[in-house]
Structure 1
Amino acid sequence: MFKPKEFSQNEYEFVSIDELVPDDHLLRLIDKYIDFSFLLKKVRPYYSEDNGRPADPLILFKMMFIGYIYGIRSERQLEREVKTNVA
């Protein structure tokens, strides 16, 4: 971005997301102590397995939960935050 346009970087570095997020991060602790799998049974009647696009209700719920915790009221802003923040 700050280099001249003729400069090209051809090296790759592999990074593990687990290494980027500290062990004591709030979302890691929530994931460790709260089992959200009970939600799958609750929402199963509302999802069709053979019609429409596949969806993961756990991810959708966790995103809304994160929005609530961090006070993000806009779903668009929440989507941008989830893409931006690795945790």
Structure 2
Amino acid sequence: MVGKRKQLSKNCLSAAIEDYIPKNNLYRRLKKVLDLSFLYEIVKPYYGKCGQKSVDTVVFFKLQLVAHFENLCSERALIKKSQLRLDILHFLD
């Protein structure tokens, strides 16, 4: 099944995180201009109707972009770096 994250309303925590990310940060600028919502329709035929939901398609694609930009070959390194950096967490929502 295609997984899709439930968007929470913008709360004070995400607004506070934005205050710590520089205005010219790559991931902050990329988040403003990159709309990947079209991916849900593209990948829909490749997923079954039952079973456990997958990782959100947009988040997965964004993680692949982060791996490319940060020159990471390992998924473990990617997850570790993503957990530690506020700019990447903000980019992933």
- Which band: TM-score by shorter chain? 0.7 to 0.9
Which structure carries more helix by proportion? Answer: 2
Q: Unpaired runs of 5+ in structure 2?
A: 1-11, 88-93
Q: Secondary structure at the match of 1:30?
A: helix
Larger C-alpha radius of gyration, 1 or 2? Answer: 1
Moved more, 72-81 or 16-25: 16-25
Q: Secondary structure at the match of 2:24?
A: coil
Q: How does 1:36-51 map to 2 (within 5 A)?
A: 36-48=36-48, 50-51=50-51
- Residue identity over aligned pairs, in percent, reads 27
Moved more, 56-65 or 43-52: 43-52
Alignment coverage as a number of residue pairs:
74
Q: Secondary structure at the match of 1:32?
A: helix
Instruction: Give me the whole-angstrom Cα distance separating, in 2, the residues matched to 1:48 and 1:19.
Output: 41
CA deviation profile, 1:26-80 (whole Å, cap 9, x unmatched): 0111111121111111112233454213531111110111100111111110000
Instruction: Give me the whole-angstrom Cα distance separating, in 2, the residues matched to 1:60 and 1:74.
Output: 14
Q: 4+ residue stretches of structure 1 with deviation over 4 A? A: none
The structure showing larger relative contact order (alpha-carbon pairs under 8 Å, at least 6 residues apart) is 2
Q: Unpaired runs of 5+ in structure 1?
A: 1-13
User: Normalised by the size of structure 1, how large is the TM-score?
Assistant: 0.72
Q: How does 1:12-31 map to 2 (within 5 A)?
A: 16-31=16-31
User: 2:7: which partner in 1?
Assistant: none
Instruction: Give me the whole-angstrom Cα distance separating, in 2, the residues matched to 1:17 and 1:57.
Output: 24
